[in-house]
Amino acid sequence: MSNKVIVIVVDGMRYDKACETLGFIQHLLETNQAALYKVKSELPSLSRPLYEVLLTGTPASVNGITSNQAVQLSTEKSLFHLTKENGLRNGAVAYYWVSELYNRAPFHFVEDREQEDESKPIQYGKFYWDDDYPDSHVLMDAEALRRKYDPHFLYIHPLGVDVKGEAFGSESKEYREQILKMGSLLAQLLPIWMKEGYHILITSDHGMSEYGNHGGITDGERDVPLFIISPKVEPGVHSEVVPQLAFAPLVCELLEIEPSDKMVNYSLPGLNRKMTV
């Protein structure tokens, strides 16, 4: 069985809207080819702090990334560090804040746009800074990177859903349409990745309020989906709400590497550990 993992973090995609609009992924659920969990995001429900949560498995009070204004390198061991330490290749196509967290801060727009350096935590990367950089470009940049470098861990982070949500609110036509567009893009790529044996995780950092903001404690701002396509995870809709801190150690489990000593010990319902080498 493959130990390669693709993670897609659809920024700002709340749980209920994802369930309503991601038609092909819901088809995979209905045909027992995927699993769905509800994840409760950490606080504050803001992007930069939650990128750090997803990638290091540590809360803001531990890692110090407490706001979007925390422009600094992470002091924690991320999934990028762990894959590199274990001799695995990694790659990312993401908003530039991810590069600032793990490779260099502040971001240098010329030198850091494209990265190819196996000595860095993020070894192969393409980073964007315009908030309206198209989701289609993010996904296809990632697929091109995957085909060229064959990473064991590929992190993909499109921002379009968050942009529409902040502009129009979570109950708007524009927000829903952007998630539908994301669903169409994923429907083109998921069959390719599934055929090649990847473990695929689709989630979000935070949700979105009806007013077009996030950062607070409401369910709309904190509840996000976690779709998993993997032979190690029992398909279907799982009722237990998963803490967001459990995401990073789950990725380690699928990559077949040891989590960091700061990651929580959490047993995901439906995960078959017996299949891990």
Task: Tell me the pLDDT tens digit for each residue of 231-245.
Answer: 999 999 999 999 999
Q: Is the pLDDT of residue 191 over 90?
A: yes
Q: Is the pLDDT of residue 273 over 90?
A: no
Q: Cis peptide before 44, with omega less than 30 degrees from 0?
A: yes
Structural domain boundaries of the chain? 5-275
Q: How confident is the model at residue 1 (pLDDT cuts 50, 70, 90)?
A: low
Q: pTM of the prediction? A: 0.97
Neighbour tally for 33: CB within 10 Å: 14
Mean pLDDT to the nearest integer, 2-20: 97
* Residue 63 · residue 244 · CB < 8 Å: no
Query: What are the tokens at 253?
Result: 């489990």
* Residue 20 · residue 177 · CB < 8 Å: no
Task: Tell me the pLDDT tens digit for each residue of 162-190.
Answer: 999 999 999 999 999 999 999 999 999 99
Task: Tell me the pLDDT tens digit for each residue of 46-64.
Answer: 999 999 999 999 999 999 9
Q: How confident is the model at residue 274 (pLDDT cuts 50, 70, 90)?
A: low
Identity of residue 268:
L
Q: How confident is the model at residue 250 (pLDDT cuts 50, 70, 90)?
A: very high
Q: CATH top-level class for 5-275?
A: alpha beta
Give CA–CA dist 213/235, Å, rounded: 33
Task: Tell me the pLDDT tens digit for each residue of 145-159.
Answer: 999 999 999 999 999
CA angle 114, 138, 159 (to 5 degrees): 110
Would you list the DSSP string of 217-230? -SHHHHEEEEEEE-
Distance of CA 27 to the CA centre of its chain: 21
pLDDT > 90: percent of the chain: 97
Q: Is the pLDDT of residue 276 over 60?
A: no
Task: Tell me the pLDDT tens digit for each residue of 16-42.
Answer: 999 999 999 999 999 999 999 999 999
Q: Which residues contact 44 (CB under 8 A, 6 or more apart)?
A: 60, 66, 67, 215, 216
Residue scoring higher pLDDT (6 or 277) = 6
Please report where in the chains the tokens 């799982």 appear, as a residue. Answer: 238
Q: Which residues contact 105 (CB under 8 A, 6 or more apart)?
A: 71, 72, 73
Q: Is the pLDDT of residue 277 over 50?
A: no
Give CA–CA dist 10/237, Å, rounded: 20
Q: Say what the pLDDT of residue 215 is.
A: 97
Q: Say what the pLDDT of residue 196 is.
A: 96
Q: Say what the pLDDT of residue 108 is.
A: 97
Q: Is the pLDDT of residue 275 over 90?
A: no
Indicate the DSSP class of residue 236: E
**200 pairs with which residues across the strands?**
6, 229
Give CA–CA dist 76/57, Å, rounded: 9
Distances (CA, A) of 247 to 25, 135, 202, 226: 19, 23, 11, 9
Average confidence score pLDDT of the chain: 97
Would you list the DSSP string of 71-101? -S---S--HHHHHHHTT--EEEEEEHHHHHH
